[in-house]
Amino acid sequence: MRCAARSSTSWSVFDVAAQIEEAARLEDDSTQTGFWDDPEAAQRTMRRLARLKESNTHWLSARQRLNDAIELAEIDDDSLAPELAAETDALEAEVERLSFRAKLSGKYDAEDAYLAIHAGAGGTDAQDWAAMLLRMYLRWAERRGFKVEVVDEMPGDEAGVKSATVSIQGDYVYGYLKSEAGVHRLVRLSPFDSNNRRHTSFCLVEVWPDVQGEIDIVIDEKDLQIDTFRSSGAGGQNVQKNETAIRIHHLPTGLIVSCQNERSQSQNKERAMQVLKMRLLDLERHKQEEEFAELKGEHVSAGWGNAIRSYVLHPYQMVKDTRSGHESGNTQAVLDGDLDDFMEAYLAARVGAAP
């Protein structure tokens, strides 16, 4: 049976046995005296334990179903053929789903995430492209039933947005969205060009995990430049008359974060500081990864010109990921949030497995 081979490969590649051992160890830790002395650490452990138990239960159940199906196949009875075929198809789908979930095994893959979009080269077209990407990710999150909040949005000069930051909450959000970090390139006939010429636009997408409970970063107030401004909106009653929006510039790193969607200036400042801490944590993590890659002699610059994905709407229609090679001719579906195949192909490429 094909699903038997796939299940065996997935079981070994993603080390389900090690996950079962880890769950047993964490469960033992949770029974120790003093476990709840640090409530935040204890809650993180319990969340990790719950996710491991859920994953292990699904894998063990699939393995038992697989063994039952093999025993059924060994019975010399043609009348069982329809039942066996149906169960084989169901197992194929289940193993495929579990294999994809097993690829989300990074340290922060199970966490919520923040996603930021910045218009790059291309002027008004790039700002319009940023708005298209924002819609694409909002639609993707909506398809999955994730909770989304637009934390900050800076309108474009003529159309679209210059930048936007959204918070997305749900199971394994960061694990899925980490595939989207990088430069996204759009080629199309510009709706802003009176001569209807083809334009190429670029946007940068940033993604970092929402790990507020694990952040232990002390920020010196002297390193911050804090500005206030009026929140932008759709007009009318939606525009704040007071300067409640906050922009924080972290001088040592050059990082700038802003928040304008909370009701008060203090709430916006608190939210912006949370985002800044997460970005500093993510910046440090990337520095460590780059230093390790340099030591291995495999450092590749993540420069602005290195697009991870191209969306071509003219002279032909194609979306192609330059890392995994995955492509789709249904550009409208992709821009409507149909991104799972691209995410899966990226994850499969990272672990060296076929998508």
Domains of the chain, first to last: 2-102 (1.20.58.410), 112-212+305-351 (3.30.70.1660), 221-294 (3.30.160.20)
pLDDT at 319: 98
Q: For the chain, what percent of residues have pLDDT higher than 70?
A: 84
Query: Does residue 6 have a pLDDT over 90?
Result: no
Across 103-112, 133-142, 219-228, 294-303, which has the greatest mean pLDDT? Answer: 133-142
Tell me the longest C-alpha to C-alpha distance in the chain.
Answer: 79
pLDDT at 236: 37
The answer to whether 321 touches 180, Cβ cutoff 8 Å, is no
Long-range contacts of 219-228 (CB under 8 A, 24+ apart): 219/250, 219/273, 219/276, 219/277, 219/280, 223/250, 223/251, 223/252, 224/248, 224/249, 224/250, 224/251, 225/249, 225/251, 226/269, 228/265
Query: Does residue 292 have a pLDDT over 60?
Result: no
> Each residue of 153-191: pLDDT tens digit?
989 989 999 999 999 998 889 999 999 999 999 999 999
Token look-up 């995430």 returns 113
